[in-house]
Structure 1
Amino acid sequence: MRIGELAAKAGVSVRALRYYEEQGLLVSQRSAGGTRHYPDTAVDQVFMIRQFYAAGLASRSIVAILPHLDTDGVTPEVLALLQGERDRVERLLTDLTSVRDRLDSGIATATTALGTGEDCRSTSRSWGMA
């Protein structure tokens, strides 16, 4: 498929796809006229790249990880990278869960305050807000 079609299917810009290629994250074949062509599997690959970026992985980590996700040819270095990134994502999830729980507490406090007519600014101090 051509770059515009991949961009539409994957929900990214053509510019993003070009960037992914520059970083070595995505590979295209070129026609005689220089047009980029991608395999159908590129859509899933772009989704995976976006997920890794959203989780905070650097391009160089993603480049090192992608070729080994579906193979048995993992080196000890790649295994260490995979484990390190997984641990980092686990810490991020813990932090995000804590933030979500604080927001839930704030929502409950504000809902109660609004339901009783109490000024919710005074109750916000109970969950760490001023």
Structure 2
Amino acid sequence: MASHRTAGGHRHYQPDAPTTVTRIRTLLAAGLPTRVIQELMPCFVGDAGELQPCVLDHLRAQLAELDSRMADLARARAALGAIVASTTGTPAQQ
């Protein structure tokens, strides 16, 4: 996000800065890395939070990556739960 400084050192941003920040925060909350967010920023439609359809493949790939990471975490959790259960002699909590 571009800004300029006043003589007093204060930053001034473009009028659309709040919209840009909202978009970035939304994409960060969705788990997207900043390098991907940078690629997607020019693809927003108007002032809405809607993206151009041409980025769907990219978004779907990110979603698949999240699904894969979640599955890996679920397997790791189950394995750790089994270790805890065998160590304590009690079933692991869900």
TM-score between both structures, scaled by the size of structure 2: 0.59
1:84 to 46, 51, 61: 61
CA shift for structure 1 position 105: 1.0
* Cα 1:111/1:28, change in 2 over 3 Å: farther
**Partner Cα separation in structure 1 for residue 53 and residue 23 of structure 2:** 24
Partner residue, 1:31: 5
Q: Is the 8 A contact 1:29 1:37 kept in 2?
A: yes
Unaligned segments of structure 2, at least 5 residues: none
**1:26-105 alignment to 2 at 5 Å?**
27=1, 29-33=3-7, 34-36=9-11, 42=21, 45-46=24-25, 48-49=27-28, 52=31, 57=33, 59-66=34-41, 68=44, 70-71=49-50, 73-76=51-54, 78-105=55-82
Aligned partners of 2:6 and 2:12 also within 8 Å: no
Larger Rg: 1 or 2?
A: 1
The change in CA–CA distance for 1:83 and 1:48 in structure 2 (over 3 A counts) is closer
Question: Equivalents in 2 of 1:47, 1:75: separation in Å?
Answer: 18
Give the number of aligned pairs.
Answer: 81
**% identity of equivalent residues:** 20
* Shift of residue 37, structure 1, vs aligned partner: 5.0
1:109 aligned to which of 67, 78, 86: 86
Secondary structure in 2 aligned to 1:52? coil
**Higher RCO (Cα < 8 Å, 6 or more apart):** 1
Question: What value does the CA root-mean-square deviation take over the aligned residues?
Answer: 3.3
